[in-house]
Amino acid sequence: MQIHDNPALKAEARNLNFYYGEAKALKGINMPIYDKKVTALIGPSGCGKSTYLRSFNRMHDLYPGNRYEGEIRFFPDNTNLLSPEVDPIEVRMRVGMVFQKPNPFPKSIYENVAYGLRVRGENNKRVLDDKVEHALKGGALWDEVKDRLNELASNLSGGQQQRLCIARALATDPELLLFDEPTSALDPIATAAIEELVHELKKRVTILIVTHNMQQAARVSDYTAYMFLGEMIEFGKTDEIFLKPKDKRTEDYITGRMG
């Protein structure tokens, strides 16, 4: 028997191809996502990081002409997230997402966090209060907003809005949380707060994070994948990728010779 120090799998991409109409944006991606770990996706702009990330919650289904090939297996139940028989809404019930720009809904802070619970039919005030508080604490925002839960979310600062979006995603207890460059619109202090939060969150949830900032990848992630031109060039433990990359292209990117 072979001894693995790898933790359990949460998801796995198998021969994943993706097409925007005729344009092939992802080329034969194979990659594991480990349970309760942070996996970072790095690579030059336009290499397909967002495209790959958005396959996990079937975001591409919203637009006509997009097509997946291959599988994303989701564990422990071994569901193929991309199967046409799997309802994208079911997928999104299990996989949360935080976007590049904070996108709070035009509602109160409270209602933003309660949103996903209400979508799932929860209307009991006590349960909602409880879960909203828990999620806001999880998003490291509770202390800042507990006295103004009924204010419009748009009154919050950018960093607070992004943490609100994280709390919103956490409220429904997702199994996998997707982050697409969550700090690219934030200042360094707000960025540090989010990074710390990501680190904290991996106790509860598996995280897949796209970042164009390699220091960030190095700081927050356990595993790192380097993508280039729609291909997965290299995947491994973050320190291995950064200290001794196997592929020349990864090394060039990391040492700043390209991208």
Partner 1 sequence: MNSQAMSANNPSDLPVVSDRLAKNAMRNVSERLIEALLLGAAAVSVLTTVGIVYVLVSESIHFFQQVSIVDFLTDTQWTPLFDDAHFGIMVLVSGTVVSSLVALSVAIPMGTIIAIYLSEFANSKVREIAKPILELLGGIPTIVFGYFALLVVTPVLQVILPELPGFSLLSAGLVMGIMIVPYIASLSEDAMRAVPMSLREGAYAMGSTRLYTALHVVVPAAFSGLAASYILAISRAVGETMILAVAAGMQPNLTWNPMEPAATITSYIVQVALGDLPHGSIGYLTIFAAGLTLLLITLVFNILGQWLRAKFRENY
Cα angle at 101 between 223 and 164, to 5 degrees?
A: 85
Q: How many residues does the chain have?
A: 259
Map residues 13-52 to x or -, x wherever contact with partner 1 holds by CB under 8 A. Answer: ----------------------------------------
Minimum gap (Å) between residue 212 Cβ and Mg ion: 8
Can you tell me which residue has the tokens 């970072």? 40
Cα 101 to Cα 186: distance, rounded to the nearest angstrom:
9
Minimum gap (Å) between residue 173 Cβ and ligand ADP: 27
* Those residues with Cβ within 8 angstroms of residue 145's Cβ, 6 or more apart along the chain or in another chain: 109, 136, 151, 156, 160, 164
Interface residues for ligand ADP in 32-71 (CB under 6 A)? 43, 45-51
123 binds partner 1 (CB under 8 A): no
Instruction: Give me the numbers of helices (H) and strands (E) for the chain, helices first please.
Output: 10, 10
182 binds partner 1 (CB under 8 A): no
Minimum gap (Å) between residue 25 Cβ and Mg ion: 11
Interface residues for Mg ion in 26-65 (CB under 5 A)? 50
Residue 37: other Cβ atoms inside 10 A: 20
Cα 190 to Cα 245: distance, rounded to the nearest angstrom:
30
Nearest partner of 196 among 180, 211, 183, judged by Cα? 183
Minimum gap (Å) between residue 79 Cβ and ligand ADP: 24
20 binds ligand ADP (CB under 6 A): yes
Cα 99 to Cα 183: distance, rounded to the nearest angstrom:
9
Kindly tell me which of 1 and 62 has the beta carbon lying closer to partner 1: 62
92 binds ligand ADP (CB under 6 A): no
Could you say which of partner 1, Mg ion, ligand ADP, none residue 92 binds, taking C-beta under 5 to 8 angstroms by partner kind?
partner 1
Interface residues for partner 1 in 48-67 (CB under 8 A)? 57, 59, 62, 64
CB 172 within 8 A of CB 118: no
25 binds ligand ADP (CB under 6 A): yes
Nearest partner of 8 among 39, 36, 29, 31, judged by Cα? 36
92 binds partner 1 (CB under 8 A): yes
Can you tell me which residue has the tokens 């006590």? 126
Kindly tell me which of 89 and 243 has the beta carbon lying closer to partner 1: 89
Kindly tell me which of 86 and 93 has the beta carbon lying closer to partner 1: 93
* Interacting residue ranges for ligand ADP, rule: CB under 6 A: 20, 23, 25, 43, 45-51
* Interacting residue ranges for Mg ion, rule: CB under 5 A: 50
